[in-house]
Every structure is written in structure tokens, then in C-alpha cells.
Amino acid sequence: IQMTQSPSSLSASIGDRVTITCRASQSVTKYLNWYQQKPGQPPKLLIEAASSLQSGVPSRFSGSGSGTDFSLTISSLQPEDLATYYCQQSYSSPLTFGPGTKVDIK
Amino acid sequence: EVQVVESGGGLVQPGGSLRVSCAASGFSVSTSQMNWVRQAPGKGLEWVSLIYIDGTTYYADSVKGRFTISRHNSMNTLDLQMNNLRVEDTALYYCARQRPGYGLNSWGQGTLVTVSS
């Protein structure tokens, strides 16, 4: 299953609403996960099963979608959200990641 | 506290072999689904391999036939044996625990493998 993401990068201001989209080449039902990777750090699981927020993750992050089309939304961008965001399907093996979306602060 | 710590990375020549390991604490690898994920310098995440609780293994096409994932229940460790290494295998190799069917929720800091002559 191939994963695509758009945009590949974006620059937004503090407080902006930011949306990243992820598309799977075939249905992954709800088995879509989102990760945040800050420079020099390992990835961190933000959202699993399309919309389930991990414990400790700020509520400004949310996920939606099913089947082949998904999105990650940051409702009010904060300085600490500078990172690259990856989607990943866990519906079938081999597992696959999207190419990533780099989020910069304007 | 759930923790994984990778080790064993280093410099190896093309065609050589290397084994990287992952030491788990706070949980048992024998009752967990475990993955290896790699990240080449400046690039994105690439899933490499996983071992299911029942011992079934899967590999990315790019490493199939060259890499072998295994776990050692008594030591609570996960290994990745890498043979016939290529320059394009150069990457930071992460070990990650996965709730079956869901996300990879515990990651180590990674171990760097460099394949170069």
C-alpha cells in the first residue's frame, strides 16, 4: 500500500489552523496513524486509528478520515509544533509511511 | 516505564554484515509486536521489518533475503541481522513497539549504521 502526503512542506504563523492530508493507494479502513518528528529526535505517535489522540498529546491536534483519505489538523499552531509529520498505515504488512510534511513557523 | 534502547551500529564495508540489537524494559518482547524502522540521513522514515507475537515475520522488499529479525525472550531483546549490506542501507535504525494493528507507540533513540568503503 503506497502512502502520499500533501503538502510536502508548509510555512504558517503562530495561531494558524494547519491541515495535512494523507492518501492511501487502497483502503486501510481506520488503520492510519500520525507521527511527529522533531529535529534530532525519534518519531512520536500522535494519533492512531485515524482519530484516537494519544495520551499527553495536546488537544489542538486532531485526525479524521477513513478508507483512503485522511487528515491531520493542528487547530492553532504553536512554536513547539515545528516538526515533520508522517502518516503510516497499519492495515497490512508491509507497513508503509508517507513521505512526510515539514511544518515551519513563519 | 516502557523503554527500548538500540545498540550495535557502526561502520561496515559494502557486502559486510552487522547485527543491531534492541533492549526492552517495562514490557516483554515475547508478548509484543516489534518493528525496525530506518531513516537515511536527511530522509523520511522507512519501515524495515516486524515480528508478530506468534513469531511471524515480515520484511520490506528492499531488505528481503538480506535482513533477519529475531527476538530473544530470555534476554528481552530484539535483533536485526543485516547481511550483504549496501551503501543505501546507511541509516539510523530505530526499534519500535507496536500495539497490534495500531501505531508504533514506543521508540528508541536509534543506532547509526554506516555502509561505506
For the stretch A22-72, pLDDT in tens is: 999 999 999 999 999 999 999 999 999 999 999 999 999 999 999 999 999
Please tell me the predicted confidence (pLDDT) of residue A89.
Answer: 97
Q: With bands split at pLDDT 50, 70 and 90, how would you rate the model's confidence at B111?
A: very high
Mutation site, A38, A45, A52, interface B, largest B CB count within 10 A = A45
- For residue A85, give the H/E element and its range: strand A83-89
Please tell me the predicted confidence (pLDDT) of residue B101.
Answer: 87
Chain A CB contacts of B45 under 8 Å are 35, 37, 43, 86, 88, 97, 100
